[in-house]
Structure 1
Amino acid sequence: MARSGVQYEDVHRVIHQLLQQGEAPAVQKIREVLGTGSFTTISEHLRQWKIERAENRDQAPIQALPDTLQRLTHELWQQAQALAHQGLLHYREEADRQVIDAQKEASDALRQAEDARQRESATANHLTHLQTALEEKSTALTRAEMKRETQSAELEDTGQKLKQLEDLIAQLDKQNQAQAREHQQALKDQATRFETRLAQEEQRHEAAEARLMSLLDSLRQERQALEKQHAKGLAQWERRLKTLEATLAEQRKALEDAKQTQREAEESLARYHERETRQERESQRLREILASRESELAQTRQRWEDAQQRLARVSLPPFTY
């Protein structure tokens, strides 16, 4: 249901105005003409108008005119219906296209959001390490700033003492001009020393800031080196895993071959069991072959179990994007 504000009559009037101007009624154009109203409300009124037009488009005009005018009116009515139908098809095609584009944009947005979440999860550990290092450097910087503030307070106290000395010099100026000049020169020298000390402190502060920036650059370089080392280690583990998988496949094949050989030996033993007396030597040789195959099978099983244990103990690095 449309909300209070723009009424259906207002939208209906603007639609007829746009049709008289030869323009297609759209939500944006209707809102520009009205100067107010929400897109939802205008869209609902426009849909209601389209429904009413669809219900009344097949009704013939009132036939209270002469035959000639009625025929002419009927022809114009049919042409208008054809044009309206073409316009409606155009609007439907345009709406379908916009819906498809919107669905595609929504799918792309969801995929991009999922990629962003994965990248955020992959960089969370790196950011945590960097944040810890940055906090340590920030603590060092805070201590340096506290030291600088203490020195500034000392300088301010010294300035106050300097002012007191200047007042004392002004009071004693008439009594002893020479002593006043000596005191003034001493005070100037002291002020010079304080200015020099202040300049040195500022230089140390700038040097501390430069060292901090250098440490930050070093941390960035270390992070890049760790990322490269991690990628290299991951590639090595992947190659090693492929090698282990290939070895495991070969061992499995050897185990299958050994089993097949054992089955063949057992079948041979069963076939020649009745002729055991006449072929004792052959039977003994077959037993030896069987024992050798069983030993090889046990060794193969042992190697396979060892490979599985080594593969289980392999600590693979976490997968990152």
Structure 2
Amino acid sequence: MLYYVLCNMLLNNPRGITMARAGVTYHDIAKAAEAIKTQGQEPTVDRVREHLGTGSKSTIAPLLKRWRSGNGEAADVSGLPSDLVEVVKSLHERVQQMADHRIEQARQEFETLKEELRKELNHANNTIAQLTARQRDLENQIARITEEKSLQDKSLEDARVSLAKAESQRDEAFTRTNDLKKSVSELKQENRDIRDHFDHYQQRTADDRQQEREQSRIVNQGLKDQIQDLQHRLAQAESRTSELLDANAQLLRNADELKQANAALNSDLNGKIEDIQNLKHELEEAATKYREYQRKNDQLAENTAVLTTQKADVDKQVAVLSQALETTKAELKTTQNKAAFLTDENKVILQEKAVIQGQFKQLQESL
């Protein structure tokens, strides 16, 4: 029954036999086996591997068998058939090699998957870092644009204040111009009144001109001086009016320029607002990609957990195979004990048979 089970295991796993690796040589195995035998212990695969500190069981087993064959060492089979012993040994070695091969294969697959997952995780981390940097850049751009908008709002407010001041100055200039116009009108009226008075004085002094010539001359000179002063004041008023009109025109031009600058600032502000909206949209897309990469990262973590579980299952299978090997060893020991018992019993029976044959021979001779 045991032989049948072991054969089925080998048939279902034809790749159980692996090539010996170059890490451990026959010389190393021989030296380790001699050292273990010197210590009074039986050289086994596990003991040789423990003594060397390296090498796989699939590598050590055939080299140890070669050493045993070279030293003429044979196991105590207690009368078992040599074919059965060789078959059991071969099955034991092949089971051991199959277990080592499956463990190594599982380890390599796990390492490969682990490396792939590590690369994907590094790629995801790099992508997340890039998106985080992009997000910081967008935040910095938004802060800078907000600051520029604040400065533009301040400039716009200053422009509005300047415009209000200019409008106030314009209104004040209009008021002063109207006042000056009223002053000019009053001066003209005063001039007309003075001319009327002058004519009146001329008419009154027409009869007494000769007598009052000197007085008339003085009066006329005074009037002329007053007229010149009034004319000078009128010229100054007209010049001041022209200057105020020019200042008003300049204020109107400044107001137009401020209105154009305000329109340009509003247009630039609208462009900045649109850029901010675009940046917010890009930020939302980056956040969506970040969440997608986070989901992939979680999926990779789940895959890692699944691989860990698979590795645990492989370890359990190895433990089951080891248990089956131990069971095989125990059954082999039991078989060896039974064979020894049968051998001893056969010896006793042969001795009894010899005694009976001697007694029978003596009985025949006596007859």
The structure having more radius of gyration, on CA atoms, is: 2
Scaled by the length of structure 2, the TM-score of the pair is 0.34
Greater RCO (CA < 8 Å, at least 6 residues apart) = 2
Scaled by the length of structure 1, the TM-score of the pair is 0.39
